[in-house]
Amino acid sequence: GENVEQHPSTLSVQEGDSAVIKCTYSDSASNYFPWYKQELGKRPQLIIDIRSNVGEKKDQRIAVTLNKTAKHFSLHITETQPEDSAVYFCAAGWGAQKLVFGQGTRLTINP
Amino acid sequence: SQTIHQWPATLVQPVGSPLSLECTVEGTSNPNLYWYRQAAGRGLQLLFYSVGIGQISSEVPQNLSASRPQDRQFILSSKKLLLSDSGFYLCAWSVRGRPYEQYFGPGTRLTVT
């Protein structure tokens, strides 16, 4: 079955700097790759996703890139702000109506 | 608009006791429904998912079971809880055919003592 590896497990950056979280997947049949953000004590929320027919997608300060050949995808957050502090999860899915999640990255933005 | 409810919000149960967690969705029809468990500081482990009434797919063989008696109701059960069942249980739904866009409930924090 699909396996998703996420790195790093923790990441600390200065406010205003960029943060990058990387994920790799094993099943070449996966064709959509969402990212979820979970603030402390709250439920995960979808922040952005990318499909296999797209190499990059941007939404304001957030961007995702996908390399299907290498089977990895990344989340880029620019001009980080304190409210970006959270746990971020990547996931991979295909026609099986489910997602496989990575183990999460705890991002801390230092003022 | 769509809303997802879970209850109870917190639960403390002794080892060996039964469990029943309920999840309901409002404002949509024929959703995909999911149960996840999140251990402290860990990722989201998919336990069960359902694409329709009575259709349950199990991802992790263990002492938990799930049922979907109605279109927008999803229940997680156990006959005898183990210490290792402690965790944060999240229910989620998605539109049929859009499993990448899941909406999570507020969760149930279960402590097995």
Q: What's the pLDDT score for residue B98?
A: 86
Q: What is the pLDDT of residues A43-63, one digit of tens each?
A: 999 999 998 888 999 999 999
**Nearest neighbour of B107 by CB, restricted to A43, A49, A101:** A43
What are the structure tokens assigned to A74, written together? 């990344």
Closest residue in B to A6 (Cα) is: B43
| Cβ–Cβ < 8 Å for A54, B100 | no
Question: In Å, what is the CA distance from A50 to each residue of A40, A47, A99, B50, B68?
Answer: 25, 11, 13, 24, 30
Averaged pLDDT, B79-108: 93
Q: How far apart are CA A15 and CA A89, in angstroms?
A: 21
Q: Do B43 and A89 touch (CB under 8 A)?
A: yes
- The 3-state DSSP class for residue B84 equals helix
Question: In Å, what is the CA distance from A95 to each residue of A78, A92, B9, B96?
Answer: 32, 11, 32, 11
Higher pLDDT, A62 or B99: A62
The alpha-carbon gap from B84 to the nearest alpha carbon of chain A, in Å, equals 18
Q: Do A104 and B43 touch (CB under 8 A)?
A: yes
Q: What's the pLDDT score for residue B43?
A: 86
pLDDT band at B61; cut points 50, 70, 90: low
| Contacts (Cβ under 8 Å, ≥6 apart) of B15 | B80, B81, B82, B83, B112, B113
Q: What is the pLDDT of residues A56-102, one digit of tens each?
A: 999 999 999 999 999 999 999 999 999 999 999 999 998 778 899 99
